Amino acid sequence: GGAVRPRSPRRPRAAMADGPAPKRRREEEEAAPGSGAPFPLSSVRLRRILRDSAREKAAFVTGPSGEPTDAVLILERTPFQEEEIEELLRTHTKLQLQMRNDIYSTYRLYPPPELSEIKATVVYPATEKHLQKYLRQEVHLIRETWEDYKNITLPFIQSQSFSIQWVYNILEKKAEADRIIHENPDPHNGFVLVPDFKWNQNQLEDLYLIALVHRRDVKSLRDLTAEHLPLLRNILQEGKEAVTKRFGVPGSQLRIYLHYQPSYYHLHVHFTALGYDAPGSSAERAHLLEDVVDNLLLDAGYYQKRALTFALRADEPLLKKFQEVGRV
Ligand code: M7G
């Protein structure tokens, strides 16, 4: 399809765009992981809106599906920092009245460039699965028993899941090495704590970090047994300490949890600010690490016994597999 024109330049949107134009191919190759060259944003063309989210204030763009130049671009406004507000009031370039009624009035306020930062996340080259991930769709709840996991989910994730090369790059210090907040180098019970790429580290309101375990044999919550308790306790204790030390946020203001299902099948733990309504912190996806530890103490095989609930998008192939056997 042709390019979709933004419906309103001020509203957040989600879109698809063409990948970089072919004449920029050399530049793209130079923009390979680790090269440091910026993504050639000006040669991207808007193709389709994937998601238009007021909450995340995000835009998504990509090239023609199936082509090697596919890209997903996420644009989002970041929260105000307190000290920026005075600066904004002093230096705004224009204030345009929209409406006035009694004691109420609304304006359009135009900030100077240094106060109008937009966080841009690029996935390039993006796979079809990335497009699906960012496409807003109807969702359905699945109640997955252990049998379902073994017979349906596990074979599926083994054939389909996202590459976790980016995780190995962090663990091997080939990427984001300068961003590491804390590391426990033990190959069995150690982990690396880094800022999640959803967080720009400008303000603590949307603090988001991720702990990636060194061992590579744990795919998700489903694999956890009492054997993993020392690892999980290290993440909980050292992770909290490191965040408090670096960012001054106490453990009592952190939401520390795992996703089930995750997008990436290498065990990792999310650390988000308690006051931040982080995407994926909903009841059908987030499992508090402290609860996970308690459950494993009660029963070493807890996560190989109980059913787990999660949501799947309408056109995800895994949903089809559950539908085929009458589980949805
Ligand atoms: P998840 O629960 O597997 O999937 O979490 P989700 O993305 O659907 O939540 C993976 C987490 O890793 C997410 O919070 C991502 O934002 C984060 N993440 C993904 N990638 C590809 C990167 C990356 O390259 N660097 C960093 N620092 N974080 C990432």
A 10 A CB-CB count for 314 gives: 11
Residue 78, in any domain of the structure: yes
Nearest CA to 4 out of 62, 55, 53 is that of 62
Q: Which of residues 77, 101, 134 is at a domain's end?
A: 134
- Consult the annotation and say whether 259 binds a ligand: yes
128 and 146 part of one domain: no
Going from the Cα of 196 to the center of ligand 1, the distance in angstroms, rounded, reads 6
- Consult the annotation and say whether 268 binds a ligand: yes
> Amino acid letter at 12?
P
Please give the pLDDT value at position 144.
Answer: 97
Q: What is the DSSP secondary structure assignment for residue 152, as one 8-state letter?
A: I
Residue nearest to atom 12 of ligand 1 (CA): 196
202 and 294 part of one domain: yes
For residues 178 and 42, give the distance between their C-alpha atoms in angstroms, rounded to a whole number: 28
Please give the pLDDT value at position 67.
Answer: 52
Candidate from 122, 212, 255, 259 with most ligand 1 atoms within 8 A of CB, to mutate: 259
Ligand 1 site: residues with CB under 6 angstroms?
Answer: 166, 176, 194, 196-198, 210, 259, 262-264, 268, 280
Going from the Cα of 197 to the center of ligand 1, the distance in angstroms, rounded, reads 7
Which two structure tokens, joined as six digits, stand for 236?
Answer: 């909980």
Q: What is the pTM of this model?
A: 0.78
Active site residue 268: yes
Residue nearest to atom 19 of ligand 1 (CA): 197
Per-10-residue mean pLDDT of the chain, 328 residues long, equals 30 40 38 63 77 61 58 84 87 90 90 88 85 83 96 93 91 96 98 94 93 98 98 98 98 98 96 94 97 98 97 90 88
Please give the pLDDT value at position 8.
Answer: 32
Backbone angles phi, psi at 287, to 5 degrees: -125, 110
Residues 6+ apart with CB under 8 A from 82: none
63 and 109 part of one domain: yes
Domain containing residue 205: CATH number: 3.30.428.10
Ligand 1 atom nearest the C-alpha of 270 is: 14
Please give the pLDDT value at position 55.
Answer: 54
115 and 175 part of one domain: no
Ligand 1 atom nearest the C-alpha of 123 is: 21
Which two structure tokens, joined as six digits, stand for 205?
Answer: 């309101």
125 and 268 part of one domain: no
For residues 270 and 262, give the distance between their C-alpha atoms in angstroms, rounded to a whole number: 11
Please give the pLDDT value at position 102.
Answer: 84
For residues 106 and 109, give the distance between their C-alpha atoms in angstroms, rounded to a whole number: 9
Supply the range of the domain harboring residue 88: 41-134
- Consult the annotation and say whether 303 binds a ligand: no
For residues 141 and 328, give the distance between their C-alpha atoms in angstroms, rounded to a whole number: 8
Residue 123, in any domain of the structure: yes
Is the CB of residue 132 less than 8 Å from the CB of residue 316? yes
Please give the pLDDT value at position 80.
Answer: 79
- Consult the annotation and say whether 265 binds a ligand: yes
- Active-site option among 130, 182, 228, 268: 268
156 and 84 part of one domain: no
Candidate from 74, 210, 261, 272 with most ligand 1 atoms within 8 A of CB, to mutate: 210
Q: What is the DSSP string of 198-234?
A: T--SS-STT-EEEEEES-SS--SGGG--GGGHHHHHH
145 and 255 part of one domain: yes
Please give the pLDDT value at position 35.
Answer: 57
